[in-house]
Amino acid sequence: MVAWPGDIQAVTLFVEDLARAKEFYQQVFELPVDFEDENSAVFRFGGTLVNLLSVASAPGLVAPAPVGSPDQGVRAQFTLGVTDVDQVCRRLAERGVSLLNGPMDRSWGIRTASFRDPGGHIWEIAAPSAPAPAGG
């Protein structure tokens, strides 16, 4: 029997400025390029590949569906688990990353913060919230 669904092996993000997006991913996520050519740069997030693809090459993957522009609004968010949201936020600030929101404790028991990459994609960092002190 075929396992369905399988693991998410790759996510492709369309970017207007490949060089800028590649530099951002190298600096902010501290990852090496796993593969690249003139149209893309691929980074490995654990077992998932994130492919930054030049928007000019995107129609070859999604046609006849149209490629949306980054000013059309947010349609997805990627969440990375971390052990300390506040510490990662300080590291992001050192790299010139502006937060969209957070750090904040969510009602579902998670502490989060979000930021945007140069292509307009939203990245969230998340960790379990610290338990409230006893006897408050």
The domains spanning 1-63 and 74-136 adopt the same CATH topology: yes
pLDDT at 133: 65
pLDDT at 8: 87
- Range in 7-11, 40-44, 67-71 the model is least confident about: 67-71
Residue 84, CA distances (Å) to 24, 63, 126, 128, 133 in order? 21, 41, 8, 9, 18
Of residues 72 and 46, the one with the higher pLDDT is 46
Instruction: Write down the domain spans for the chain.
Output: 1-63, 74-136
Instruction: Decide if domain 1-63 falls under CATH 3.90.1280.10.
Output: no
Q: Which CATH superfamily, name and number, covers 74-136?
A: 2,3-Dihydroxybiphenyl 1,2-Dioxygenase, domain 1 (3.10.180.10)
Give the residue-averaged pLDDT of 105-115: 95
Give the residue-averaged pLDDT of 76-87: 94
- Range in 70-74, 90-94, 100-104 the model is least confident about: 70-74
Give the residue-averaged pLDDT of 27-36: 97
pLDDT at 4: 72
Q: How confident is the model at residue 134 (pLDDT cuts 50, 70, 90)?
A: low
Segment (H or E) for 77:
strand 77-81
Residue 10 has pLDDT above 80, yes or no: yes
Q: How far apart are CA 90 and CA 60, in angstroms?
A: 39
Of residues 1 and 90, the one with the higher pLDDT is 90
pLDDT at 34: 97
